[in-house]
Structure 1
Amino acid sequence: MAIETQARKDKMNQGPSQTVEPAAEPESASKGGGWLLLRTRDFGLLFWGQLTSQIGDSLSKVALLWFVYQMTGSALKMAVIGLLQTVPPLVLGPVIGVYLDRLPTKTTMIVVDLLRAVLVMLIPGLYALDLLTLERLYVLVFCVAVVSMIFGPALASAVPQIVRREQLTSANALLQGTANIGVLIGPAISGLGIVLIGAQNVLYVDAATFLVSALCLMPIRMRIRAAADPVSEAKRSFREDLLAGFRFVFIQHRTITALMLTATLYSLGVSAFVFMLPVFAEQALNVGPLELGWLWSSLGIGMLAGSAWLASRKHQATANGFKMISSSMTVGGVAVCGLSMLPTPLVATGLIVIIGGSTALFMPIVWGVLQELTPEPLLGRVFTTFSTGGMASAMAGMAGFGWAADTMGPGICLVGIGLVLLVTACVAAGCSRVHYPAGDRKQEGEALAA
């Protein structure tokens, strides 16, 4: 059975839906590459709001850690900040997904941005009033993390309500590009801001970026999300909704299950590589913090270039998306293995650019496939499940490969990470062959052409 037919049946099984098409886009935006989406009113507002917010996030990460270290003088107490930002997605992700599917997406995103602005603003505000204790700071950071974890799945759920089906991957790539830009320029701006106005005042700037994001969201016109029958929806319990999301991901839809496995392997390898980069730079390349900064920048440049290239492409059939994932993970895996064999700074810089570009293709394609195949009333639960699985896998990757680096050295560890990415490529290739046999690919191509 073709996957398009299965997805259509899944959506029909959700009951009657109420939909309103979004405002008409320029004809060129629906036919051209993804960059033309920036000319449209609604996606353009979403993009610029997210760009501002992502830069603010990067400002906050540097400024908050510096602020805590200045306040306590303890690296351990500073590390607790990272732990508090990691725990909520792991523990609360699936629970949040149920409520995301019950609430209007746009309103949820606006409320989240406003809450983040208030919570972040409280940190320097209480400090100025000499009321900020370490315990209160930890509580505020935890609350910000809980609220922030809602926004990512809500954003992924909102994209299909703004752009057309054939523009999903390009839209996801553009939104990923905002995160890449934030990582590239945010820390530098934050460092300059800390010197000029102090770490606590940089947090005011971060709060302001969330307000800008909320203001950009307010005029956006979104199609009303398809919903299940209100009567049956009211009778369903929280537990039933939660189990429905798990069944869809792990039992009912083989392609979604395969995607979950692929995403888990991807997070395992990529997070471990990022975690290992400082160790590799010091032990294998024998370089200092300045050169390490260049290596980080090379990774960011590669990711930004990969996102930009993917955004410029026109819509690809889902089977071709799996093939692209397989090809990009193969390139990334070979490049990571090559790092262990060619430990010179110049070669390493080039390989890291390639790694950044190849790994940047993964998530926008996966998000696009999920957005196409998942019934709209389940989008929140599916994306939070993927987020939770990815976070757990990332932590396992950092811990496991960190141990391997200490016991066997960074070279062997890099080969292991490269093999994980190559296995990810094999799983993606298997998905393309198993779930998209030749006849199904032909039917999907004819449907897209029509």
Structure 2
Amino acid sequence: MKEKDVTVQSATSGWRLLWTKDFGMLWAGQAISQIGDGLSKVALLWFVYELTGSALKMTVIGLLQTIPPLVFGPLIGVYLDRLPKKMVMIVVDLVRTLTVVLIPLCYAFDVLTLERLYVLVFLNSIVSTIFGPALSSAVPLIVDRSQLTSANALIQSTTNVGVLLGPALGGLGIAVVGVQNVLYFNAVAYFISALCIIPIAVRDSHVVKRLEVLSTPIIKDLAVGFRFVFIQHRIVFALMITAVLYNLAISAFVFMLPVVAKEVLQVGPLELGWIWSALGIGMLAASLWLAWVPQGDFRNRIGRIAKFLAVGGLAVCSLGLIETPVLANTMLLIGVIGGTTSVYYPVVSATLQEVTPEHLLGRVFTTFSTGGMASSMVGMAGFGWASDEISPAASLVGIGLALLLTAMVTIHVSRRDYAPATT
């Protein structure tokens, strides 16, 4: 193939993926599922904050969603490397359908207390812990390696679509039909996602029968995964450090949005939906741009992350320092924050998929998930406390500084030698 043809293909292959049967169905199912998630996220966070008036208690929802990856992530990775990824994703979506349905049912029977809501969110997050690593492990089994950055950017765009449409519809749904109907829509979205995955062809070359999986020494397999991440491959370990810093900041920022709406701007759930949608617009634009541009080499990709994160950190600091914020200006800043911070995971995921042997993908992604979720827990609790005890503005400035630190560390990582791992 001529050099010119290669350049054109690299710039357009991401868009062509959407028209393939396998990746197209995967993308469609995830888009619907993420819209459902966006609906329920606004409903759950607004319900807790309105009930308690505490940013710290509101962030308990986020903390409950981070505990299962933190506790069960490495163990899940061991078995995920041996099970068919397609089957795992279908089962998880069906189980999530059932757990989410229980929330509006309890609400309908007037038995949905804060404690019971926490329990149901925790149960749903346990099964949801499996889906993300399964999806990340399945992507390189569906698309070519040269398309990994585009594929991951398009997968992330489904999250962006969910952030863009879900919260706006969720805020409107809360005001018009109530929280129970909003959550019913989320359950239906999970079910549709399972239906979309069924016809997808996923290449699984490392599948072990059930009894063989159960008889495999867990400690040995865990050690193999940890050794690859923390010792064997320096780039993977360096990216792990940036992931910890990134999640410390960005998870806290997302869960601070209801506080920004109610305490800083003094607006209601409908405007909160608009703010969340502004975040989604920026994220979606960045993901679509990332799917279009050529993948590039390692240093260019990681350096690009650093530049964008620096801009995002400055934007978050500005949001906290504005004395008399206006809704329109705040939405613009949040859109910039969404766009500059959302380039991180598609690039990092593609790099991990490139350098990780196929039989270790599950363990590597669950290890990253565990580290990221642990960092998210610290960030949400710490910045939530700062918002309650000091001020929301101080919390936002702290988040912005954390993003700037992430950018500095990422610049250092981009200067390291790139050495792909051997299988």
Measured against the shorter chain, the TM-score band is 0.7 to 0.9
Q: TM-score, normalised by structure 1?
A: 0.78
Name the structure 1 match of 2:159: 179
- Rounded Cα–Cα distance in structure 1 between residues aligned with 2:232 and 2:207: 19
Residue 131 (structure 1) shift: 11
Identity across matched positions, percent? 58
Question: Is 2:364 the counterpart of 1:382?
Answer: yes
- Secondary structure of 2:81's counterpart equals helix
Gaps (5+ residues) in structure 1? 1-27, 444-450
Cα gap change, 1:69 to 1:253, in 2 (>3 Å):
closer
Question: Is 2:125 the counterpart of 1:148?
Answer: no
Question: Is 2:38 the counterpart of 1:48?
Answer: no
- Rounded Cα–Cα distance in structure 2 between residues aligned with 1:359 and 1:198: 32
- Secondary structure of 1:391's counterpart equals helix
Cα gap change, 1:58 to 1:238, in 2 (>3 Å):
same
Name the structure 2 match of 1:429: 411
Residue 412 (structure 1) shift: 4.9
Cα gap change, 1:61 to 1:45, in 2 (>3 Å):
same
Residue 87 (structure 1) shift: 2.2
Name the structure 1 match of 2:3: none
Residues 67, 200 of structure 1: 8 Å contact kept: no
Write the mapping of 1:223-242 to structure 2, written as runs, cut at 5 A.
Answer: 223-226=203-206, 236-242=216-222
- Secondary structure of 2:203's counterpart equals coil
Farther off after superposition, 363-372 or 348-357: 348-357
Name the structure 2 match of 1:260: 240
- Secondary structure of 1:39's counterpart equals coil
Residue 104 (structure 1) shift: 0.9
Q: Which residue of the other structure, out of 92, 95, 107, is the alignment partner of 2:75?
A: 95
Name the structure 1 match of 2:337: 355
Write the mapping of 1:292-441 to structure 2, written as runs, cut at 5 A.
Answer: 293-343=273-323, 344-345=325-326, 347-405=329-387, 409-436=391-418
Q: TM-score, normalised by structure 2?
A: 0.83
- Secondary structure of 1:311's counterpart equals helix
- Rounded Cα–Cα distance in structure 2 between residues aligned with 1:383 and 1:274: 22
- Rounded Cα–Cα distance in structure 1 between residues aligned with 2:97 and 2:33: 10
Write the mapping of 1:19-168 to structure 2, written as runs, cut at 5 A.
Answer: 32-63=12-43, 82-124=62-104, 140-168=120-148
- Rounded Cα–Cα distance in structure 1 between residues aligned with 2:172 and 2:329: 31
Amino acid in structure 2 at the alignment position of 1:350? L
- Rounded Cα–Cα distance in structure 1 between residues aligned with 2:116 and 2:385: 34
Residues 299, 355 of structure 1: 8 Å contact kept: yes
Residues 313, 400 of structure 2: 8 Å contact kept: yes
Instruction: Give the CA RMSD over aligned residues.
Output: 3.6
Farther off after superposition, 182-191 or 389-398: 182-191
Farther off after superposition, 328-337 or 88-97: 328-337
- Per-residue CA deviations over 1:266-320 (Å, capped at 9, x if unaligned) read 111222333445556677x655346655443322221121112111112222222
- Rounded Cα–Cα distance in structure 1 between residues aligned with 2:88 and 2:218: 19
Residues 66, 374 of structure 2: 8 Å contact kept: no
Residue 238 (structure 1) shift: 0.6
- Rounded Cα–Cα distance in structure 2 between residues aligned with 1:124 and 1:54: 19
Residue 80 (structure 1) shift: 6.1
Amino acid in structure 1 at the alignment position of 2:129? M
Amino acid in structure 2 at the alignment position of 1:384? T
Cα gap change, 1:401 to 1:205, in 2 (>3 Å):
closer
Name the structure 1 match of 2:230: 250
Count of residue pairs brought into register by the alignment: 407
Residues 123, 132 of structure 1: 8 Å contact kept: no
Residues 267, 394 of structure 1: 8 Å contact kept: yes
- Rounded Cα–Cα distance in structure 2 between residues aligned with 1:149 and 1:349: 31
Cα gap change, 1:272 to 1:193, in 2 (>3 Å):
closer
Residue 222 (structure 1) shift: 1.6
Cα gap change, 1:159 to 1:137, in 2 (>3 Å):
same
Amino acid in structure 1 at the alignment position of 2:90? I
Cα gap change, 1:352 to 1:196, in 2 (>3 Å):
closer
Asked which structure has the greater CA Rg, the reply is: 1
- Rounded Cα–Cα distance in structure 1 between residues aligned with 2:177 and 2:389: 44
- Rounded Cα–Cα distance in structure 2 between residues aligned with 1:347 and 1:199: 29
Gaps (5+ residues) in structure 2? 1-7
Amino acid in structure 2 at the alignment position of 1:288? V
Residues 10, 294 of structure 2: 8 Å contact kept: no
Q: Which residue of the other structure, out of 195, 198, 202, is the alignment partner of 1:215?
A: 195
Q: Which residue of the other structure, out of 190, 195, 204, is the alignment partner of 2:170?
A: 190
Name the structure 2 match of 1:288: 267
Cα gap change, 1:325 to 1:204, in 2 (>3 Å):
same
- Per-residue CA deviations over 1:136-177 (Å, capped at 9, x if unaligned) read 766544332211111011001111011111211111111111
